[in-house]
């Protein structure tokens, strides 16, 4: 028997193989796919995010949980009704111009996707024009800017400025993060939010779109 609580616990442990078995068992027992997704998997990743924020879980463990989540969602996708696949919101994210670091960004992408967001990852070394092009095409609710180098922080400012100049600031939220970035810098450049890690980025994104 695989109840939802057990599935949540297995997801948090990062045991992907056991999770797949439990998800299939729950489906065989007649548990709706949407219920497994929202009440067991997304609920579990919320706990993972919280534990990452408090330092109870570390990046390798979080990655294992996120990977297990991704595999489980692939089983559920074909079984989800149209309404159940509606996203928590659209997000575009990228590491800013001049910066090639992507580990933190990739973790945010995985956590956001696990929380039900529709995420477009623009990759690394993304200039302000590329962000603007994606905003025009995808009409996101949130734009995430990442930087690991202090030398690329001005590129973050340029991108926020460009979004503001285009009159897009009212229709979306800008979130920034990365090792050299802090709340004071986020305030200074006019970003809507600063996240110190993937767990808090996910929680903030949900809060901003409520």
What would the pLDDT profile of 153-185 be if each residue is shown by its tens digit? Answer: 999 999 999 999 999 999 999 999 999 999 999
65 and 125 housed in the same domain = no
Instruction: Report residue 171 as tokens.
Output: 């229709």
Q: Which pLDDT score is estimated for 122?
A: 98
Q: How confident is the model at residue 193 (pLDDT cuts 50, 70, 90)?
A: very high
pLDDT at 22 over 80: yes
pLDDT digits (tens, 9 = 90+) for 92-133: 999 999 999 998 999 999 999 988 899 999 999 999 999 999
55 and 141 housed in the same domain = no
Query: Which residue, 106, 182, 191, 104, is CA-closest to 143?
Result: 191
Instruction: Report residue 31 as tokens.
Output: 């548990």
Residue with tokens 């989800």: 80
Residue 80 maps to which CATH number? 1.10.1240.10
Query: Which residue, 49, 92, 45, is CA-closest to 70?
Result: 45
Which H helix or E strand runs over 203? helix 198-209
Helices (H), 14-172: 16-28, 33-35, 43-54, 59-76, 103-114, 128-138, 153-165
Q: Please state the φ and ψ torsions of residue 41, each to the nearest 5 degrees.
A: -80, -55
Instruction: Write down the mean pLDDT value for the chain.
Output: 93
pLDDT digits (tens, 9 = 90+) for 23-63: 999 999 999 999 999 999 999 999 999 999 899 999 899 99
94 and 12 housed in the same domain = no
59 and 106 housed in the same domain = no
Average the pLDDT over 200-205 and give the result.
Answer: 92
Q: Which pLDDT score is estimated for 141?
A: 97
Q: How confident is the model at residue 138 (pLDDT cuts 50, 70, 90)?
A: very high
108 and 39 housed in the same domain = no
76 and 119 housed in the same domain = no
Q: How confident is the model at residue 65 (pLDDT cuts 50, 70, 90)?
A: very high
pLDDT at 81 over 80: no
Range of the domain at 79: 4-85
Q: Which pLDDT score is estimated for 80?
A: 83
């Amino acid at each position: 028997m695989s109840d939802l609580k057990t599935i949540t616990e297995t997801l948090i442990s990062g045991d992907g193989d056991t999770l797949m078995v439990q998800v299939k068992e729950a489906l065989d027992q007649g548990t709706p796919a949407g219920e497994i997704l929202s009440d067991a998997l997304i609920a579990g990743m919320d706990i993972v995010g919280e534990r990452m924020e408090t330092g109870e879980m570390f990046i390798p463990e979080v990655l294992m949980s996120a990977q297990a989540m991704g595999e489980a969602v692939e089983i559920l996708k074909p079984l989800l009704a149209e309404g159940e696949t509606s996203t928590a919101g659209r997000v575009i994210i990228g590491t800013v111009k001049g910066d090639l670091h992507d580990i933190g960004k990739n973790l945010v992408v995985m956590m956001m996707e696990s929380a039900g967001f529709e995420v477009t990852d623009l990759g690394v070394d993304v200039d302000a024009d590329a962000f603007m092009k994606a905003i025009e095409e995808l009409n996101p609710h949130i734009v995430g800017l990442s930087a690991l180098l202090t030398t690329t922080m001005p590129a973050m400012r340029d991108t926020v400025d460009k979004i503001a100049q285009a009159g897009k600031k009212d229709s979306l939220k800008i979130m920034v993060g990365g090792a050299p970035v802090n709340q004071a810098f986020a305030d200074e450049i006019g970003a809507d939010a600063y996240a110190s890690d993937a767990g808090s980025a996910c929680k903030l994104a949900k809060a901003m779109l409520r």
